[in-house]
Amino acid sequence: MVNEVASVISNYEIASNYWQAILKAPEISRMAKPGQFINILPIKNWPKMMRRPMSIASNEHENISIIYKVVGEGTQYISDWKEGSKVDIIGPLGNTWPEFNDEYPILIGGGVGIAPILYLQDKFSSEGIKHHLIMGAKTGSEHFLEHSPDDGLLLTTDDGTIGIKGTVIRALEAIFHTPSDIRNYRICACGPSPMLNAIKQFASDYSIECFVALETMMACGFGICQGCSIEREQNSDAGSSYRKKYSLACIDGPVFQTNEIKNC
């Protein structure tokens, strides 16, 4: 973990209200692993007390990127970053996705939750590991990838304007209802809580290993403030314990196996 002044390489809208900022951050880039995040000071004189944590969406040649939607004051400032802007970031923070041996990856991203999924997908693509990628959005204009089922890339939209109509669960069902010899699927997902809880249930019903990267309110990003607690499933001796009933998303996560947590 370092506090690095990154320099903005580019920052533009890649789909309807979906933005990608590429930052030159050599030190964080050198250390970062898929699943990890950075904690961002949106502007130098940021009047609020919390940085804005965001997953790393890509990492190559000293450059990392984030994908975000403009939803509030912080992301509004971030969308104003210009090429060459200097940005104060802390990272890389958090854990990483599990090691894959012979498991078959199904990667699922919903909304800006696609960010840590794309970074993981980059790793699989560069290592030539076959996988499926599902991306869900409300409508077609929010997608920035092409629906390409033959390549294992499935897009879903709530309104059916692109890809499969419905949630990412429809795409998961499509994969599981297609005859296949693959037995050892493993899901890695990130997105809104309702989507992740639906995937958690699906994985449980089909007895599939499932990992999710969670988003919570967070202040420090490295275990000090204890604000980003996640309730764990196993809490048998929680009577007098620490971080057994509640994990911290920033240092115990953000990646958790779904059978270890109560809710996503």
Partner 1 sequence: MLTKIELLNHTFKSPILVASGTFGYGDEVAGLIDVNQLGGIITKSVTLEPREGNAPPRIAETSAGMLNSIGLANLGVEKYCHTKLPQLNKLETKVIINIAGFGIDDYVKTLQILENHDGNHAGYEINISCPNVKSGGMQFGVDAVMTESLTSEMRKHTNKLLILKLSPNVTKIEDIAMAAEAGGADMISAINTVVGMGINIHNRKPVLNTVFGGLSGPAIKPIALANVHKIYKAVSVPIIGIGGISTAEDVIEFIMAGADLVQVGTSNFKDPSIGLKITKGLEPLCKTLEVTNIHDLKGTLEYY
Instruction: Please report, as ranges, the residues that interact with partner 1 according to CB under 8 A.
Output: 1-3, 41, 46-51, 88, 90, 216-220, 222-231, 238, 240-246
Rank residues 44 and 165 by Cβ distance to partner 1 and give the closer one.
44
Rank residues 138 and 245 by Cβ distance to partner 1 and give the closer one.
245
CB of 47 to partner 1, least distance (A): 7
CB of 63 to partner 1, least distance (A): 21
Name the phi and psi angles at 14, rounded to 5.
-95, -15
Helix (H) or strand (E) holding 93: strand 86-93
CB of 255 to partner 1, least distance (A): 18
Residues 6+ apart with CB under 8 A from 16: 139, 141, 142
Burial of 123 (0-12, 13-18, 19+ CB in 10 A): middle
CB of 152 to partner 1, least distance (A): 35
Rank residues 180 and 235 by Cβ distance to partner 1 and give the closer one.
235
> What is the CB neighbour count within 10 angstroms for residue 121?
22
Rank residues 166 and 227 by Cβ distance to partner 1 and give the closer one.
227
Q: Is 191 left (phi over 0), alpha (psi -120 to 50) or beta?
A: left
